């Protein structure tokens, strides 16, 4: 699933927010939050296979996808208080709170 056209950066903590093209400003649409898989060691929201535009327009939902730290950056545990591990899960929790 590697796509060399997708830029790689350690600045990875961001959300994609997709809304239908024609909506009433007063409409109360459902919000779908999507967390990609990858076994906690790979993945990102910018892969073409995860394009949410059709879903948002066809199903009339607001689509939110989040990046989170994976692999050693997100889930390495060293048994130290300064580095408690599971940072990827904390990233997901913060994104859900934002929504």
98 pLDDT above the threshold of 60: yes
User: pTM of the prediction?
Assistant: 0.77
pLDDT value for 7: 67
End-to-end CA distance of the chain: 28
Q: Could you tell me the maximum CA-CA distance found in the chain, to the nearest angstrom? A: 51
Q: Which tens digits make up the pLDDT trace of 41-67?
A: 677 777 767 778 877 778 888 999 998
**Can you tell me the distance from the alpha carbon of 21 to that of 24, in angstroms, rounded to the nearest whole number?**
10
Average pLDDT, rounded, for the chain: 82
């Amino acid at each position: 699933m590697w796509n060399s056209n997708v830029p790689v950066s350690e600045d990875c903590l961001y959300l994609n927010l997709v809304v239908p093209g024609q909506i009433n400003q007063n409409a109360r649409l459902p919000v779908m939050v999507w967390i990609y898989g990858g076994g906690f060691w790979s993945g990102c929201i910018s892969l073409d296979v995860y394009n949410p535009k059709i879903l948002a327009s066809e199903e009339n939902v607001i689509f939110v996808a989040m990046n989170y730290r994976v692999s050693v950056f997100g889930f390495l545990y060293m048994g130290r208080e300064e580095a408690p591990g599971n940072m990827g899960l904390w990233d997901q929790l913060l994104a859900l709170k934002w929504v």
